[in-house]
Amino acid sequence: MKNSLVPINKTALIDRFHKIETDGELIFQQLYFKKNKYAPQESKKLNFRIF
């Protein structure tokens, strides 16, 4: 069992993380837009990241 580690595809992990991060940002922007829909002059784009 000690030598049964499976190599991890780093590119796949990075792509998956980027997709999660992008999805989270889109959801946040949609919620933020709905909240500030009647005051667009006050809305600001925030840097939203998932860690």
Side chain identity at 24, as an amino acid letter? G
Distances in Å between the Cα of 49 and the Cα atoms of 26, 28, 37 are 11, 10, 22
Global pTM exceeds 0.75: no
What are the tens digits of pLDDT across the range 9-32? 666 666 666 676 667 677 776 666
Mean of pLDDT values over 5-10: 63
Q: Is 15 helix (H, G, I), strand (E, B) or coil?
A: helix
Residue 36 has pLDDT above 60, yes or no: no
pLDDT given at position 43 = 47
Local confidence band at 47 (pLDDT 50, 70, 90 cut-offs): low
Question: Which two structure tokens, joined as six digits, stand for 32?
Answer: 């933020």
Distance CA 27, CA 16 (A): 17
d(CA 33, CA 37): 5
